[in-house]
Amino acid sequence: MLSINKIVLPIDFSDRSKAAAAEARFLAKVFGAEVLAVYVMEPMPIYGGGLEMAAPIDWYALQRPAVDQRLAPFVAAELGDVTVKTLVREGDPATEIVAVANEEKADLILLATHGFGGFRRFLLGSVAAKVLSDAAVPVLTSAHLQEGSGQQEIKSVLLAVDVDQRAPLLMKAAAGVARQFGAKLHIVHASPDDGAGPGRFVDPTWRVEIAKRRDAALREDMAAAGVEATLQVVAGEVAKVVRQVAEECGADLVVLGRTTETGILGRLRTNSYAIVREAPCAVLSI
């Protein structure tokens, strides 16, 4: 089971930040966790035009009073009924977020990905992308947090899994998450060819055979992990397959593994950003 004692919550006082705080508050209550509310003061922007300064400016010192003035009321209003530790850092946001997670031995980073209106599925903020790449702990991301007040119930969990040595471990982790919320677990694997790629030049039974073998392998992994769930092996583009199945099963949370594999068995790693953009719900990357 996934154990969560500390949740890193980057904030910037935006509406998306408030929605993320609602999500963090919900999870903190479920797991009895502490929320680490982090505000990162970015370096001073540099503009051209030949501007000369008579003396160096302590940019962070100038920002700090305004940050402090807003931080306490924000935490009181959005996280007032859970245990919170506030931290103000200086520097690159993604670097500092990962550093806080490492230093505080956090168990989860919660991020609202960057997106605007109807274009949110095509945008993944650089901060979120870098955190997903660099963090050693699970990362919960959602491009949908700005649209609501935070997830308050999880009834359906979908695990997107590769056929590799990590599959049983991820199945156990996802099953633990589902049990924690009393949710139903579903598993999906995107088979590598739907007939639109190189496979269109070979016997179509090749795709059917590949899908059968992968289905059998994953069912063996489920048995070995002692996990009960529905399983679908669907041919097609990974992010689109995950979105399709997530919508079909009414998933409130998608779980995927950030693996180091880069070959055909490591397709989720190269597609993780696309999954976050396309998913109709929050995504937990382990």
Residue 270 in this model has a pLDDT that exceeds 70: no
The arithmetic mean of pLDDT across residues 277-285, rounded, is 88
Residue 200: per-residue pLDDT? 54
Name the DSSP letter for residue 3. -
Mean pLDDT of 34-60: 71
**pTM, whole model, 2 decimals?**
0.80
- Whether residue 284 is predicted with pLDDT greater than 80 in this model: the reply is yes
| The pLDDT of residue 167 is above 80 | yes
- The radius of gyration computed from the CA coordinates of the chain, to the nearest angstrom, equals 21
Give the pair of three-digit tokens for residue 226: 């002692």
Q: pLDDT band for 286, please (50, 70, 90 cuts).
A: confident
The percentage of residues in the chain with a pLDDT greater than 70, rounded to a whole number, is 78
H or E segment and range at residue 41:
strand 34-41
Residue 252 has pLDDT above 50, yes or no: yes
Q: For 218-245, how does the pLDDT look when each residue is reduced to its tens digit (9 = 90+)?
A: 999 999 999 999 999 998 889 999 999 9
User: What average pLDDT score do residues 155-179 get?
Assistant: 93
pLDDT of 259? 56
Residue 228: per-residue pLDDT: 95
Residues in the chain: 286
The confidence score (pLDDT) of residue 55 equals 47
- Structure tokens, 84: 């919170």
Average pLDDT, the chain: 82
Longest CA span, the chain: 74
Tens-digit pLDDT profile for residues 100-124: 999 999 999 998 765 444 333 334 5
| Structure confidence at residue 250 (pLDDT) | 95
For residue 232, what are its two tokens? 């679908």
What pLDDT, on a 0 to 100 scale, did the predictor assign at position 112?
75
For residues 138 and 109, give the distance between their C-alpha atoms in angstroms, rounded to a whole number: 6
> How much of the chain, in percent, has pLDDT values that exceed 90?
47
Mean pLDDT of all residues in 134-149: 71
Which pLDDT value is given to residue 88? 94
Q: Which domains does the chain have, with CATH numbers?
A: 6-147 (3.40.50.620), 156-285 (3.40.50.620)
Tokens, residue 99: 């550093």
- Structure confidence at residue 143 as a pLDDT band (50, 70, 90): low
| Token pair for 221 | 């992994």
Residue, of 229 and 13, whose pLDDT is higher: 229
Residue 139, strand partner residues: 109, 285
Looking at per-residue pLDDT, the higher value among 235 and 250 belongs to: 250
